[in-house]
Structure formats: structure tokens, C-alpha cells
Amino acid sequence: MSAEEVVKEIKYEPFLDPADLYASNDLLLHQEDLTGLNLLMGFSGFSDAGQVVTQITDELLENLQGEPLAFFDIDQLLDYRSRRPRITFIEDHLADYQQPQLALYRMIDGLGQPFLFLTGNEPDLQWERFSLAVLGLVKRLDVNLVAWVHSIPMPVPHTRPIGVTVHGNRPDLIEGISSWRSTVQIPSAIGHVLEYRLQQAGRNVAGYAIHVPHYLADAQYPPAAVAGLEYLGAAATLMLPSERLREAGRDVERQIAEQVAASAEVQGVVRNLEKQFDDRAKSTPLRSLLADENDELPDADALGAAVEAYLATRDPEEQGGE
């Protein structure tokens, strides 16, 4: 047996109880109204091109009713020297210390449907123990579907629809939607590891890597965050808020258009990206998870009506799990 095969045979057994990584409240302890929900996840710190995860997290926590169920012990998980928290110096004193957090929330969507949301700083340390802790929560609460989002810079133009690479073990959420298929080794994020462990455990999971134009990856790009919210909402049959981000996206797109118009060199780069995108789209046409039979994307009202109609066809017991 080769060294690689030996490593694959090793099953990680933590020296400490994974559940000791988080402190929970009474609601989680008694599991009231928590069983069979869908779980959304997003972690900042690895590759948050366009600040997609950051924007989605802010949008959900600021606009939806929610309460924390568990806080993870961030001091055990974060390397403060490599990712130093921000603090504001105001003339002669310090304020607004942005304390790192990693927490599990119970949220209520725009139609009154409950779901779980795990978000915060991606752990630097104890990935295996953290994964076992999350898997333990998923099993304990009999989570129906885990859907997570992250974003990656891609050589695509901002003038074309936002692309997405979908992965997981739900073919109905992947086939015909994923706009980039290949076999390649990549640096893993904690979301990848969690998805891998969830698949091994036979749990339903889907991951969405939102494509952000590489020349906008370092800036806040609201249209990509809107796409992430739409895909998460459609996968988990949730009505998630996006109107504020849509409006911000329109402003950003106007600014980008002005900057492109002012530079012939930038115009040339965008045209080349458009040609590459269009040539590829002709050879591999894609359907959208959100599009109708005419490939038209619904507005917020139409999407809400569609989700509400779908939920109305399901029995209350069915809505908890499948």
C-alpha cells in the first residue's frame, strides 16, 4: 500500500469533543422548530471576490428576522496574526473594533419560512474538528439541504450574465446550470471540506461558486451578490432579500460603464472577453435555475410568487425534510 493510500485509509479521530467548539443557547439545546430545515453557509476570508459572501451575510442579517443559536470559539479557530481584525483610530482614541465571529443563526425568510444560516470568518485552524462539529449539528437537526456560496475571479466581462459553477450531490441543482466544468486541483476552502464531508455522510449538499469579473474582484460588486442570493434562495425554496443590492448594483454598473467609456484600452479588453464568453455560450448553452421556459429571469415579485406557490403545494410535515 502506497503512502497516499495509507493516508486515505486514516479516519480522523479528534482528541477533543468537536461539540466543545461552540456554545449554544436554550433554543438549540431543545431543538424547538429546528428539525428538518435547510442550512445556508458562507465564510469570509479565503476567496471573496467582489465581496460576495460579505454582502450576502450583511443583507441577510440586517434585513431578516433571526437569532443566534450557537457561537463558535473563534479564539481556537482564527490566526489573528495572518488576519488581523480591523479597529478604527479616531483622533485620540480607538473605537469600532470588528470582533471576528463564526455563528449559527435561525432565520426567517420573506415568506415566513425558517432556515439556518452558518456564517462568519473562515477558520484558520482545526478544520477537521470544526467539520465534525458542523456535521454533528447537521445530523442532530436532520438538516434537509446544505447550500453554501463563495465567489471566484474569472476572465469574464461584466456586460454578460453572472456565471456560476455548481457542485455537490444534487443533480437537479447542477445539471445545465454550472457554467464551468473541468477537472483541476484547487486550494480548498473550509466550505469545500464541509461539502466533501457532508457528501461522505450522505447529506444533501450544493455549493455555488459565483463568477466575478477578474478586474472587479477586489471591489464590492453587488450584481454577483444578487446572483448568489438568487441561487441560494432557489435551491432552498427561500425568499431572500436582494432589492437593496440590486439598486446598489445599478449604481456600480453605471460607474463601470463610465470608466470603460473613458478608456479605449479597457474597451478592447472587455470586447475580447465578450467574444470569448459568447463563443463559449454558443457551444455550451446553459439554463438558469431561475429562468422560465423562455429563459426570462423573474423579478423579485415573480420569484416570491413562485416560491409561495411551491410552498403551498407542500404539507407542513413535508416542508421540514424530504
Q: Which domains does the chain have, with CATH numbers?
A: 8-317 (3.40.50.10900)
pLDDT of residue 320: 42
Q: Which helix (H) or strand (E) covers residue 154, if one does?
A: strand 146-154
Give the CA distances from residue 21 to residues 11, 59, 186, in Å, rounded to whole numbers and listed in that order: 20, 27, 28
Question: Alpha-carbon distance 251 to 255, whole Å?
Answer: 6
pLDDT of residue 292: 46
Question: Alpha-carbon distance 57 to 72, whole Å?
Answer: 17
- Tell me the pLDDT of the chain (322 aa) as tens digits: 555 555 555 666 777 899 999 999 887 877 778 999 999 999 998 779 999 999 999 999 999 999 999 999 999 999 999 889 999 999 999 999 999 999 999 999 999 999 999 999 999 999 999 999 999 999 999 999 999 999 999 999 999 999 999 999 998 888 777 666 677 788 899 999 999 999 999 999 999 999 999 999 999 999 999 999 999 999 999 999 999 999 999 999 999 999 999 999 989 999 999 998 888 877 665 444 444 444 444 444 544 454 455 445 444 444 444 3
Degrees to nearest 5, angle at CA 134 with 133 and 135: 90
Degrees to nearest 5, angle at CA 147 with 145 and 151: 170
Hey, how many other C-beta atoms are within 10 angstroms of the C-beta on 63?
Answer: 15
Q: What secondary structure letter does DSSP report for 155?
A: S
Return all residues near 201 (Cβ < 8 A) that are at least 6 apart. 135, 138, 139
pLDDT of residue 296: 45
Question: Alpha-carbon distance 209 to 152, whole Å?
Answer: 6
212 contacts 154 by C-beta, under 8 angstroms: yes
Name the pTM for this structure: 0.83
Give the CA distances from residue 16 to residues 21, 69, 128, in Å, rounded to whole numbers and listed in that order: 9, 22, 11
Q: What secondary structure letter does DSSP report for 12?
A: P
